Amino acid sequence: MLAVEEYVEIFTQDDFRSRQSEMREILEAISEQYLVGDIGITTKNYVNWGIRLDGTICILDYAYCYNTTFGTFKCSCDDTSILQYDKNFVDLICPKCGRKYTFGDIRRRITRKAQEEEIGDIRRIGYNITKPDEDVTIVKEFEPEVKTKEKKVNKVDMIIKEYHKHKEEGKIGTQDWDNPN
Ligand SMILES: [Zn+2]
How far apart are the CA of 131 and the centre of ligand 1, in A? 51
Measured at the alpha carbon of residue 116, what is the angle toward residues 112 and 118, in degrees to the nearest 5? 115
Q: Give 106 Cα–ligand 1 centroid separation in angstroms.
A: 13
Q: What is the mean pLDDT of residues 137-160?
A: 69
| pLDDT of 120 | 65
The environment of the single-atom ion ligand 1, i.e. residues with CB closer than 5 A, is 75, 77, 94, 96-97, 99
Distance from Cα 67 to the centre of ligand 1, integer Å? 21
* pLDDT exceeds 60 at position 174: no
pLDDT of 24-42, one tens digit each? Answer: 999 999 888 888 888 899 9
Torsional class of 170: left (φ above 0), alpha (ψ -120 to 50), beta (otherwise): left
Would you list the domain boundaries of the chain?
8-142, 148-181
CA–CA distance, 53 with 59 (Å, rounded to integer): 14
The residue among 93 and 117 whose pLDDT is bigger is 93
Beta strands in 11-144 (DSSP E): 34-37, 49-52, 57-59, 64-67, 84-85, 92-93, 100-101
How close is the Cα of 25 to the center of ligand 1, in Å?
26
What does the alpha-carbon distance between residue 37 and residue 16 come to, in Å, rounded to a whole number? 17
Q: How far is the CA of 114 from the centre of ligand 1 (A)?
A: 23
Q: Which helix or strand (DSSP H or E) is residue 103 part of? A: helix 103-109
CA of 17 to the centre of ligand 1 (A): 32
Cα 134 to ligand 1 centre (Å): 54
Mean pLDDT calculated for residue range 61-90: 80
pTM for this predicted structure: 0.60
| CA proximity to 23, closest of 49, 53, 62, 55 | 49
- Ligand 1 mean position, distance from CA 46 (Å): 29
Residues in contact with 70: Cβ distance below 8 Å, sequence separation at least 6, in sequence order: 35, 110, 114, 118
